[in-house]
Amino acid sequence: MNSIDNLRIDINSQNFWPWWPLLPLYPYGKRFTFFKEIVPNQIWTFEQLQGLYYVAVPVRLTVIKVNGGLMLINPLPPTESLLVDLRKLEDLYGPVLSIVLPTASGLEHKISMPAMARSFPKALLWVCPGQWSFPLSLPSSWLGIPAKRTRILLADGVPYPEFFEWISLGPINIGLGRFQEISCFDKRSGSLIITDALVGIDSNPPKLFDSDPTPLLFHAREKGSDPLIDTASNRRKGWLRLVLFSSFLRPNNLSIPSLSSIISNSFKPGFRNIKVHFGIYPFEWQSGWQSSALKLVGQDKPLLQVAPVVRRLVFPRAKNELLRWLDIISSLRGLRMIIPAHFSSPISFRNKDCLTFRRKINFSEWIKKEDDWSFLSSVDELLIEKEIVPKDPTFNPKN
């Protein structure tokens, strides 16, 4: 691999993503892309930031070499700069032959499937069974996924079974639709490509933020009139707060200041621009937030976990399905690493690590309700009470 710089950050004008209003997440129409070679001549990843209100975390596309070309897993917005690098990979290894959307529920992955499909009009499209949309349930072709060249994973077979094992997690009935993802195990490299099932979080911000640390610095402040100061400690402080936000949505050590307090710190000279949201910062961090955040991150290596929001809103009554999936993963021959679609990647993950992780989950207090978990817990209880989410998560295809 000599024509593509490893670990390159694109900060040119080719990062425009015109379809951002469909799912208006930060950084909206401007998507920097971070390219990384994972296994020489075999696996590569592209990362972009995605989030709400500067709470941005990496989202990842994985590219794998297959016979005669390439397979893409977990689509990303195909900005010009991303396509330039993908075309370079195509020149070296052959055309994109398959694009895989391995999740039924992950909107942030689904949203770019149509644009990615249009960018590679000859590629075969593979999607997880049970695709659903909200608020309206629309057929996939209405969502821009062309039916003629689309196959359903498992029901219509699987791509390249000679190279990959495809392992389903779910389906789990989550009321509005199903949670399901199909993990891809590359037998040649021992890599397991997953979507939202597991994440590994580091105590330091990902390199992706080097292109623009604004989200980190924005949340490293105490009030809207504090300036954004770029230091290593502020980047880390902001990162830990982003981890708390994205994990718990509303962490326990966070309060909303009074409107008069928010306004009194807003619109100060030097803050009258969109980058700093005009000085509006509607959060107040309470003491103890650091110790909460440190429980979620690893110091020497990423801390592997089921993301709290997934654990509390998808798996609260489906722990057995997670354990079943981990049983299969732990028996994969030659397992070496996982490549999740969010946070850190790749993460060293061998069979014994999987067994240890499974044991930790099996013996944990699974349905947490206290402290940082209280908001997610209240959402889960409300969804159950309103009968939006069933008490029994067993998936019934007739439903």
Shortest gap between Cβ of 50 and Fe ion (angstroms)? 9
Q: What six digits make up the tokens of 122? A: 């000859």
298 bridge partner residues: 202
Q: Could you say whether residue 380 binds Fe ion (CB under 5 A)?
A: no
Task: State the nearest-atom distance from the C-beta of 391 to Fe ion, in Å.
Answer: 25
For the CB of residue 36, give the shortest distance to Fe ion in the complex, in Å: 18
Region near Fe ion per CB under 5 A, out of 131-139, 158-166, 193-201, 240-248:
193-201
Gap between the Cα atoms of 306 and 381, Å rounded: 20
When asked if residue 106 is in the footprint of Fe ion (CB under 5 A), the reply is yes
Q: How far is the CB of 307 from Fe ion (least distance, A)?
A: 9
- Phi and psi torsions of 326, nearest 5°: -65, -35
CB of 394 to Fe ion, least distance (A): 24
- Cβ neighbour number for residue 246 with a 10 Å cutoff: 22
- CB closer to Fe ion, 262 vs 376: 376
Q: Which of residues 144-163 bind Fe ion (CB under 5 A)?
A: none
Distance CA 103, CA 21 (A): 22
Give 283 or 325: the residue with its C-beta nearer to Fe ion: 325
Tokens representing 66 are 């297959």
Q: Strands 96-101 and 124-127, how do they pair?
A: parallel
**Which phi-psi region, left, alpha or beta, contains residue 114 (left: φ > 0; alpha: ψ -120 to 50)?**
alpha
C-alpha to C-alpha distance for 62 and 47, rounded to whole angstroms: 9
CB-CB contact of 238 with 205 (8 Å): yes
Q: Is 196 in the site for Fe ion (CB under 5 A)?
A: yes
Query: Would you say 200 or 224 has its CB closer to Fe ion?
Result: 200
CB-wise, 76 or 216, nearer to Fe ion? 76
- Could you write out the three-class secondary structure of 269-295? CCCCCHHHHHHCCCCEECCCHHHHHHC
Contact between 47 and Fe ion (CB under 5 A)? no
85 binds Fe ion, rule: CB under 5 A = no
Listed ranges 82-90, 94-102, 103-111, 294-302: which one lies at the site for Fe ion (CB under 5 A): 103-111
Segment contacting Fe ion by CB under 5 A, of 41-49, 127-135, 174-182, 192-200: 192-200
What is the contact surface with Fe ion in residues (CB under 5 A)?
Answer: 106, 196
